[in-house]
Chain A
């Protein structure tokens, strides 16, 4: 059973931020396969939003991430983009309403 993604890199990521104990070969294999499947599904599903030119673009991904509940963990990673002009409008509107302002700011990439 082979994996496409390098096991060593997946191990590094697994150990990066958590107090993860020992990682067995079997667990490392399964995590790597899970990640490959994640890439595949995300690509397929986001591509479902492509309408013209057969090209998967950032906006398709961010739209898909906004919509799917199980991708909530990606909201900060693949944020929706807005134009600077629109952002300025939001800031002006938000002047008297600072709570929504910080929220909108975080959406800017």
Chain B
């Protein structure tokens, strides 16, 4: 729940850093311009969420999926975002999977040998 309207603002320091990274060396940004970009970014989140939700509803889904967001970006004429974001998404999925695998293998080594058969069973269940 949003209790204060400030909760809808993105943190100034982070937005400022992202802007700085996008600008060429030696370039500056006025305070007013920075505030406007931060405001625009918050509205972008609402706009993209709303469009993605509409797409999800059309498929009779209540929950937005990553594919809904990518489709919404295309629909809203931000096609150029789709490819780099798909790459990010793949990297994210891989990182999550690696983390899971790691957790699984470390818990597998923690338990005694006689229960290793169980783990194997779980593994085949997951991959199927």
Residues of A in contact with B (beta carbons under 8 Å apart): 1, 4-6, 9-10, 12-27, 29-31, 33-44, 46-47, 50, 53-58, 60-62, 65, 69-70, 73-74, 77-78
Binary flags per residue of B27-55, CB closer than 8 Å to A gives 1, else 0: 11110110011011111111111100100
CA distance A6 to B83 in the complex (A): 23
Closest residue on chain A to residue B94 by CB atoms: A1
Closest residue on chain B to residue A17 by CB atoms: B46
What are the nearest 8 A-B pairs in CB distance? Answer: A70-B77, A43-B22, A21-B62, A58-B32, A1-B92, A55-B28, A40-B22, A56-B29
CA distance A46 to B27 in the complex (A): 12
Contact of A18 among B21, B46, B84 (CB under 8 A): B46
Binary flags per residue of B58-80, CB closer than 8 Å to A gives 1, else 0: 00001111100110010011101
Contact of B19 among A19, A39, A58 (CB under 8 A): A39
Contact of B48 among A29, A34, A47, A77 (CB under 8 A): A34
Across-interface contacts of B77 in A (CB, < 8 A): 69-70
Across-interface contacts of A61 in B (CB, < 8 A): 33, 36-37, 40
CA distance A30 to B103 in the complex (A): 24
Assign chain B's interface to a size class: 35 or more
Question: A42 to nearest B CB, angstroms?
Answer: 6
Across-interface contacts of B24 in A (CB, < 8 A): 47
Whether A30 and B88, one on each chain, are in contact in the complex, defined by CB atoms closer than 8 angstroms, is yes
Contact of A44 among B22, B42, B44 (CB under 8 A): B22
Residues of B in contact with A (beta carbons under 8 Å apart): 1-2, 7-8, 10-11, 14-15, 17-19, 21-24, 26-30, 32-33, 36-37, 39-50, 53, 56, 62-66, 69-70, 73, 76-78, 80-81, 84-85, 88-89, 91-93, 95-96
16 sample A-B contacts, Cβ–Cβ < 8 Å, listed by A number: A5-B10, A5-B15, A13-B8, A17-B46, A23-B63, A26-B96, A27-B64, A37-B81, A38-B81, A39-B15, A39-B19, A39-B22, A39-B37, A47-B23, A62-B36, A65-B40
